[in-house]
Structure 1
Amino acid sequence: MIGRITAMIRFARCRKFLFQCIAIGVILAMVASACLFKLASIQLIDGQMAAQAATQARTKKVIVHSMRGKITDTNGTVLAQSVERYTIIADPWAASQFEPIDCDTQKAKQAGFCHKVNGKPVGVKGSAGVARLLAPVLKMDAKTLGAKLTGTSRYMILKKDVTPTVKRAIDDLNLGGVVYGELSSQRIYANGTQLGALLGGVDDSGKGVAGVESMENSALTGTDGYVIYQQGNGGEEIPGTLTGSQEAVNGSDVALTLDHDVDWYVKQALLEGQKKTKATWAMAVVQDIQTGEILALEDTDEYQAGSDQAKLNASRAVSESFEPGSVGKVITMSGLLQTGLHKATDKFTVPYSYTKDGQEYHDSSAHGDEHWTLAGIIKNSSNVGVVMASSQYTKKQRYEYLTKFGIGQSSGMSIPGESRGQLGTPESWDGRTGNTILFGQGYSVNALQLTNVVATIGNKGVRKQQSLIKSVTHADGTVETPQEGSSTRVIDESVADQVKNAMESVAEGYSKVVNVKGYRIAAKTGTAEVAGSDGRLTSIVADFAGMIPADNPRFAITVIMKDPQGTYGGMTAGPVFAKIGEFLMQKYNVPTSSPRNDAIAVDW
């Protein structure tokens, strides 16, 4: 009995032990299973994710910047272009870890390079060592560089607009992962203050913000590309790891109608004329009468293209508006002839002063009653004469011909800062303004508008659309030529010939100061009172607008001066006109004029 009890106790103990072993075995199996699962997870799942994360950490997308297109003159002379430059970047944290490799050491042999300054060991490590190596190449003070390289930042700009030569010298310092260059570009302009405000400039991002740079920004701007690769610890590209790329497409080149040589000469002639007459400013336009192309667009402002002044100030030759003065009489004569109200040979007795509708008008200098034809009224620039001749010329007709010649309208060239001038409607004209517009007062124009008035007369009465853009050459070599603007007949050819004839008589009256040997000139002078600095009519704008040669018009030239000594346009702006005209005749080898034998009588 005792034996059975003892056996039962032993059996119970064994069973308990067995259960404990089984429980422990189950637990160990579960732990082992968990370990196996985790191991599989690490190897098959987390390992892949870790590998992907490591790859992503090494992967770098580098933007390949496109180059902005060039701006050239009509002959291909470069006026503005972008050149390759670099922004030098440092990693201050990496600089703090820098340890220079001395030459002639085992480490140098293994690395394949070493660090030295003037042939000697760098001597210090960390940011100070990097600065000591870099300072001579960047031509910067080592202490200043060391201060920039100190800290935990991972991105610090050290210097902008570094040339490729300097960039290569930095590469030779073997500072990969610490200092590197980011490709950028710098916009440079070749001609100082010539065409300064007209070309305008770009902002820090390379976007055109003024002048032609803004006007043609969409064409000039390229499309950036990129490359994607994996980099090593030193920032270098790991061979064979390029995974994606897209080539940059450079901006298109824009060719202007301007001729650099003509424009340069015009600029010099204006500066000389300004100095001689002590004018506040002067400006000029040269236009090809047959095509409408602008060959020169200049003023005496001294703004460097790309400068803040060039970005803030539009070209005076397009932005400045002024009363044309007596040049406006050619529009009046054109309208009088075209409407059939008068012939150029109609006779008038013209006094010095004349009262109409309670308003008195007088000429610029006292004279007795003169016997002038309509052509003579233009030749002698009589205010009284044009008012008398226009007694049947309605306000509606006056407005019609002003607008037909482009007064109060945009040139259509979309030049930034261009003024439209000012022309009121007939309903807005008071009793005096309705007559002063006959002799170029009471409305305002810009130099482009006034030039096209003369060009229209020289082009046998057909007004051409002016142009400044000759062509756009895209990165793939294709050339796009802007669609030629419409031409509009303003007056009949016979009317244009008569107005031109009268203008030639005007020019002959100034032949002692305005002449180009061998060539006939047809022109009109103008002098108008404008507001001075005190806001009152204390300043003068003098202009001389004409065409050369008169017998076969090739070029329209307008010269305008503010407050010149000598006052009258023929005596001040006229000689500058002649200087420009002489250069044009020589440059383009224009045949000399035939003798004049068709002059319309100016007296009776």
Structure 2
Amino acid sequence: MSRRSGTSISWRRPFCRRSLVVGLVLVIVALAALGKLAYIQLFDGRSMAQAAAESRTVPHTIKAQRGRILDVNGRVLAQSLERYTIVGDPKAAADFVPIDCTKKTKENCHSIGGNPVGADGAAGVARLLAPELNMNAMELGGKLSVPGRYVILAKQVTPEVKRSIDKLGLAGIITAELSSERTYPHADLMGSLIGGIDAEGKGVAGLEQLENRQLTGKDGYEVYQQGMLGQQIPGTVTRSNPPENGKDVRLTIDQDVQWYVRQALKTGRDRFHADWALAVVQDTHTNQIVALADTDDYLAGSDDAKIHSSRAVAETFEPGSIGKTIAISGMLQEQLHTMSDKFTVPDHITVDNQQYKDAFDHPTEHWTLAGILQNSSNVGMVMAGDKYPDQKRYDYLTRFGIGQPSALGLPGESKGLLTTPQTWDRRTRNTVLFGQGYATNAIQLTNAVATLANKGVRSDQSIILSEGKTNANQVRVVDEAVAASLMNGMESVAELYQNTARVEGYRVASKTGTAEVADNSGKLTGIISDWVGVLPADDPHFVVTVVLKNPKSSDGVFGSITAGPVFAQIGEFLMQKYRVPASSPRTDAIPVEW
């Protein structure tokens, strides 16, 4: 054997050994794999299958619907409608290959108007989907061409559109997640009063906030297995709990009355060139709010409605001469006077170096206390209050609800401003007798007069029918005879202004007010003109309050001239709508002069 042959043999031996080692290792690995497979199949198959199923099993939230807000007759003011969020899977979209429609594939194919899609991947998905979403196909394709497995393509999609998308054959690529849309069929009718919700569906303003707990439901869920593309595998639901939708909230407000009152306010605002107008209509039998309106044009659910509270509960002002009804009630209850007491009243008077004047010049008059109320004499009120203690002046204001939060609890409601007698100066102690020196809102003012209409008993107001108890928390403020005397005097007030505020066929008990208020600069150049009326006076059904800010009229800006006609328009509507019987003639008027 040659030397070369020996070298070849020596080289082959290490190679063979290495080959044997590698082969042996492969055999051992193969045997291990076979052993593992056998173990899994024979001993651990069930647990592995369970683990695989668990990895595919996912919980899915089923959103609860928010409850509706209804008017007293069940008409919808706010509701949540079924809507869907359309979601795409970009990775699955990239792998999309459309199936052309043939006789064999017609049950499971893709086409656009009977024509082939003409593109694969995200572009093909976008071409199919864009017409249903009313979107640009190129824009939609761009949204589907991003990394990841989840992208929102459209929100607030209707059930009809969702069903159309389901027929496109894009399961696993395009999915629809159930959501809802809060809608307001009459959004301009009660904008700030209804308020709105945030992006999470939580009430953040108005009645949506006040009744959020009642309106909010409890989400449900389903637990099922999903495929590789995220689609639900049929028949794999393991657990489920249906959602509990929120409960409806029914208001005491009548949509028809609310609409009419709002229109009357807008007409009055425009006629008298006022900055704004507001009104409250309250049922005297139940103390329920029938209408709570203003001229603000905020749409329910809008950002403006969430920022601005209802003006009827948030706006505070000096009530002016309407406050005389409260002061006289206290004087009568404390037996300091009767409505027939006689006074000699000049048009100005000085007390404690403070001069007080009536709103108009007049000779010295011979008025009874009823006449002082009818002619709205500030001087007469100061004279009648000579023996009326400051603490009592304050006590009766609070008893009538002035400066106290109402039972409505509406977001943004102001309780007004009423300071204690210890803080009053020599002038304020007398101005509170004629509705100045303190601030109230229309809700408080309405209930104060409703107290007189209800024979001296004040009850909580309500605006939620499901929670409102008729005449809840009754408190006697003045005796029935005192309330009757005030109603008699207020009826004489209404008779004085029949030319501007008559409600044909019905007796009315009213009080008008006018007060100077601060403007934006802080100067007392602004005017509040208001009117509160009970009708019918002989059988009270409603109290109506109307307030205008900065009205302008060639006949004057007094409440009797500006707010009075708006009151009369609303009053006529109420009497006709509720078919209230006409009044009987008045026969018991207390003399206003002597």
TM-score range, shorter chain: over 0.9
Could you tell me which residue of structure 1 aligns to residue 211 of structure 2?
Answer: 216
1:600 aligns with 2:587: no
Cα distance change, pair 46–150 in 1 and its aligned pair in 2 (3 A): farther
Structure 1 stretch displaced more, 364-373 or 213-222 = 364-373
The C-alpha deviation readout for 1:274-311, integer Å capped at 9, x for no partner, is: 01000000000000011110000000000111111001
Aligned residue in 2 for 1:104? 102
Partner of 1:69: 67
What do residues 159-194 of structure 1 show as CA deviations (whole Å, max 9, x unaligned)?
A: 100000000000000100101110001011011311
- Measure the CA separation in 1 of the matches of 2:32 and 2:112: 59
For the residue of structure 1 that corresponds to 2:462, the secondary structure is coil
Q: Letter of the aligned partner of 2:522 in structure 1?
A: G
Does the aligned pair in 2 maintain the 1:469–1:482 contact within 8 Å? no
Number of the residue aligned with 2:11? none
Indicate whether 1:260 and 2:255 are aligned. yes
Tell me the distance in 2 between the aligned counterparts of 1:157 and 1:35: 44
CA distance in 2, matches of 1:573, 1:345: 28
Q: How has the CA–CA distance of structure 1 residues 77 and 36 changed in structure 2, closer, same or farther, with 3 Å as cutoff?
A: closer
**1:80-91 equivalent positions in 2, closer than 5 A:** 80-91=78-89
Percent identical pairs in the alignment equals 58
Pairing of 1:379-394 with structure 2 (within 5 A): 379-394=374-389
Q: Deviations over 1:553-574 (max 9, x none)?
A: 1100000000001310000000
Residues 1:309 and 2:304 are matched in the alignment: yes
- Give the distance between the partners of 1:29 and 1:382, measured in 2 at CA: 116
Deviation, structure 1 residue 205: 1.2
1:351 aligns with 2:346: yes
In structure 2, the CA distance between the partners of 1:29 and 1:102, relative to structure 1 (3 Å rule), is closer
In 2, distance between residues paired with 1:35 and 1:310?
A: 69
Q: Distance in 1 between matches of 2:29 and 2:287?
A: 92
8 Å contact kept, 2:187–2:301 = no
Distance 1:226 1:28, change over 3 A: closer
1:226-249 per-position Cα deviation (integer Å, ceiling 9, x unaligned): 111223345443333210000111
Q: Which residue of 2 aligns with 1:587?
A: 577
TM alignment of 1:121-520, pairs within 5 A = 121-233=116-228, 235-471=230-466, 485-520=472-507
Residue 393 of structure 1 aligns to a residue whose secondary structure is coil
Number of residues of Structure 1 aligned to a counterpart in Structure 2: 567
Runs (4+) off by over 2 Å: 27-54, 231-240, 481-485
Provide the C-alpha distance between the structure 2 equivalents of 1:74 and 1:589, rounded to a whole number of angstroms: 18
Query: How far, CA to CA, are the matches of 1:586 and 1:292 in structure 2?
Result: 20
Match among 551, 559, 562 for residue 538 of structure 2? 551
Query: Cα distance 1:31–1:119, how it changes in 2: closer, same or farther (>3 A)?
Result: closer
Q: In 2, Cα distance between the equivalents of 1:237 and 1:33?
A: 38
Give the Cα–Cα distance (whole angstroms) in 2 for the partners of residues 28 and 254 of structure 1: 75
Matching residue of 2:19 = none
The answer to whether the Cα contact below 8 Å between 2:320 and 2:434 also exists between their aligned partners in 1 is yes
Are the aligned partners of 2:319 and 2:515 in contact in 1 as well (CA < 8 Å)? yes
Matched, 1:541 2:528: yes
Which stretches in structure 2 are left out of the alignment for 5+ residues? Answer: 1-24
Amino acid at match of 2:442: A
CA distance in 2, matches of 1:169, 1:72: 32
Match of 1:95 among 93, 96, 112: 93
Deviates more, 1:301-310 or 1:32-41: 32-41
SS of equivalent residue, structure 1 residue 571: coil
Q: CA RMSD in A?
A: 1.9
Q: 1:562 corresponds to which letter in structure 2?
A: K
Normalised to the residue count of structure 2, the TM-score between the two structures is 0.93
Question: Hey, what's the Cα distance between the residues in 1 that align with 2:448 and 2:30?
Answer: 99
- Counterpart Cα distance in 2 of 1:515 and 1:32: 105
Aligned to 2:14: none
Give a deviation string over 1:321-347, Cα, whole Å, max 9, x none: 000000000001100100000011110
